[in-house]
Amino acid sequence: MAAITAADVNKLRQMTGAGMMDCKKALTEAEGDFEAAIDILRKAGQKVAAKRADNATSEGIVLVHVSPDGTNGKLIALACETEPVSKVADFQNLAMALMSTAVATHAADKETLLATVQGDGRTVSEQMVELIGKIGEKLDLMAYENVTAERIVSYVHSNNKLGVLVAFGQVGGADLAEVGKDIGMQIAAMKPVALDKADVSAETIQREIEIGKEQARAEGKPEAMLDRIAEGKLNKFYKDSTLLNQEFVKDSSLTIAQLIEKTQKGLKITSFKRIAIGG
């Protein structure tokens, strides 16, 4: 059996980033063959990933990137199991590498990003599995959004666990930095489920109607009144839960629709994306 020196262990550690004991164990098992040792470390990552596949990932980091011309925005949420791991350099470097890959490739969706082949010949997903083996926790690319519009404004909450992209159209040269941030903060705080009434799914509408009827029935309202009461509750839902119909948090005399019209006549919000880790 080949003698495993401290220099060999350190060399493998520099190549893989794995811990010293893991590197020594892998080299011993591989009888000094570095390529075989690397494969052993990768398989160890796969085993950890499989073992922890059902674990909850309620910590992590959200990153945002807006192109220099302001027409494209990307959001990434990389999640892990515990807060200490979310703060280690390897985890944060992985998140930044994911964003760099997304920016370079303009990956359309999460699946495409995970399947992107990196410079070392491995996919993003395979690199994540290797880091799972090193860190010993489940890691999850929880969400990835890629939005293109006439103008994109972003907002990231101070804890770096919540990010928003707001897409605007018919900008007409308006400076949207301040109002865009205000609307991003509104979306972060108020969690709208859709942009406007027409964007709410039929399933959600039906669920809200049924909830309204059950609440009225529990309050002893006559059956003949249930539909009308449920319709009223649905309108309240639209006001509370669709962005354009929400009251502006900073000025309750305005809805968001009125705010953007006041900012620039004809200005439109074409879409928004909200990503949050842990809630």
Domain with residue 18: its CATH number is 1.10.8.10
**Position 171, amino acid:** V
- For the record, the structure tokens of 81 come out as 């199991």
Q: Of how many residues is the chain composed?
A: 279
The pTM score is 0.80
H-type alpha helices, the chain: 6-16, 20-29, 34-51, 83-87, 89-105, 110-114, 124-135, 177-190, 202-218, 226-241, 256-263
- Say if residue 36 is in the same domain as residue 70: no
Say if 257 falls within a structural domain: no
- Say if residue 70 is in the same domain as residue 15: no
Say if 271 falls within a structural domain: no
- Say if residue 23 is in the same domain as residue 109: no
Domain with residue 65: its CATH number is 3.30.479.20
Say if 231 falls within a structural domain: no
Predicted confidence at residue 48, as pLDDT, reads: 59
Q: Which of 123, 148, 173 is where one domain is finished?
A: 148
Say if 30 falls within a structural domain: yes
- Say if residue 57 is in the same domain as residue 144: yes
- For the record, the structure tokens of 66 come out as 């807006």
- What is the domain extent for residue 59? 53-148
The number of folded domains in the chain is: 2
- Say if residue 45 is in the same domain as residue 106: no
Per-residue pLDDT of the chain (279 residues; tens, 9 = 90+): 567 788 887 887 777 666 677 778 877 888 788 788 877 777 776 555 566 666 778 999 999 999 999 999 999 999 999 999 999 998 999 999 999 999 999 999 999 999 999 887 889 988 888 888 778 888 999 999 999 999 999 999 988 999 999 999 999 989 999 999 999 999 999 999 999 999 999 999 999 999 999 999 999 989 889 999 999 999 999 999 999 999 999 999 999 999 999 999 999 999 999 999 986
Predicted confidence at residue 30, as pLDDT, reads: 82
Say if 66 falls within a structural domain: yes
- Say if residue 61 is in the same domain as residue 41: no
Say if 45 falls within a structural domain: yes
Say if 202 falls within a structural domain: no
